[in-house]
């Protein structure tokens, strides 16, 4: 029984080490897609320049929080629109386009971590 518990602990530790870098890589891909494929007219380049990923918090037990955001106070107005301007979504389409790729990166990382547990 102790061997089984040690194996589970080793697997948990391997996943805890492998998951944050995989999530970070996926978030970078989503942010890069949002920067490259935005539908808005880029007059100042500030929103495009400041669109970034951020690894904020988390653990294997409680879950991880990773954000991709516009980085400017008006980013949500561009994404969602206002009463005077139509929306120009750039974050949601990036997630829709790259979410599966991010999931594949995470799955491959987790599979590699589990296979490397001795």
Residue bearing tokens 């929306």: 87
Domains contained in the chain, number: 1
Give counts: helices (H), strands (E), the chain. Answer: 4, 2
- 73: which DSSP letter? T
In a domain, 20, yes or no: no
Q: Count other Cβ atoms within 10 Å, centred on residue 3.
A: 7
Contact 40, 72 (CB under 8 A): no
For residue range 22-47, what is the model confidence (pLDDT) as tens digits?
Answer: 999 999 999 999 999 999 999 999 99
Residue 26 falls inside a structural domain: no
Rounded distance, CA 47 to CA 52, Å?
A: 10
Domain hosting 75: range is: 31-112
How confident is the model over 34-92, as pLDDT tens digits? 999 999 999 999 999 999 999 878 888 899 999 999 999 999 999 999 999 999 999 99
Q: Could you give the CA distance from residue 99 to residue 47 in angstroms, rounded to a whole number?
A: 21
Kindly state whether residue 40 falls inside one of the protein's structural domains: yes
């Amino acid at each position: 029984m102790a061997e089984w518990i040690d194996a589970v602990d080793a697997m948990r530790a391997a996943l805890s080490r492998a998951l944050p870098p995989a999530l970070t890589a996926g978030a970078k891909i989503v942010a890069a897609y949002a920067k490259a494929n935005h539908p808005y007219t880029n007059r100042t380049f500030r929103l495009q320049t400041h669109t970034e990923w951020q690894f904020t918090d988390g653990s294997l037990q409680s879950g991880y929080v990773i954000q991709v955001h516009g980085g400017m106070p008006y980013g949500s107005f561009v994404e969602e629109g206002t009463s005077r301007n139509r929306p120009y979504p750039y974050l949601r389409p990036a997630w829709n386009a790259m979410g599966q790729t991010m999931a594949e990166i995470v799955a491959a990382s987790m599979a590699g971590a589990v296979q490397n547990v001795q």
